[in-house]
Chain A
Amino acid sequence: DIVMTQSSLYLAVTPGEPASISCKSSQSLLHSNGYNYVDWFLQRPGQPPQLLIYLGSHRASGVPDRFSGSGSGTDFTLKISSVESEDFGVYFCMQILQTPLTFGGGTKVE
């Protein structure tokens, strides 16, 4: 199985400031088609996860452009250009290169 590691369990941020969350995979998620097979989700308390970024860098429908995904191979980053109050919650990365799909342990932005 591919192991997804989010090294930071917590990230303290201030509204209006930028934030960056990292995720590392145990093997390359770069597909031969050029896409990195990693998604990012935000889970607010009591809610299901919300897709933010798919295939490494593509914003999901309705996701504000302050969110961006970058990275390639085994190292990935989710960036928030200017944190807003609604952005607080737990962020997960997930690899979709192969089954079983696997998730990172989450980074709580608080």
Chain B
Amino acid sequence: SAVISQKPSRDICQRGTSLTIQCQVDSQVTMMFWYRQQPGQSLTLIATANQGSEATYESGFVIDKFPISRPNLTFSTLTVSNMSPEDSSIYLCSVEGAAVYNEQFFGPGTRLTVL
């Protein structure tokens, strides 16, 4: 299994500002995923980030609002831009595990509150 860390663990931000969330993995992985989660609810996939190519965004999420970087096989960032209170959520990164069954390993999450 992979060990994944995220920074920051939580933040309180003012509306209109941007926050960049970092995701670091202890091993090289091809696919990284970014999710959004309301407390107590399921996960919503924002985008898939592969090293060396542009991120693939899910319906309802756009690059201008959630730019993603993937500079190498162990690191990725997600920026939440021009934040509004509706962006208050938990943001999680994950990586693929065993390729056979597509299991994923998750970071601890970043709890974002926008005032």
A binds B: no
Residue ranges of B at the interface with A (Cβ–Cβ < 8 Å): none
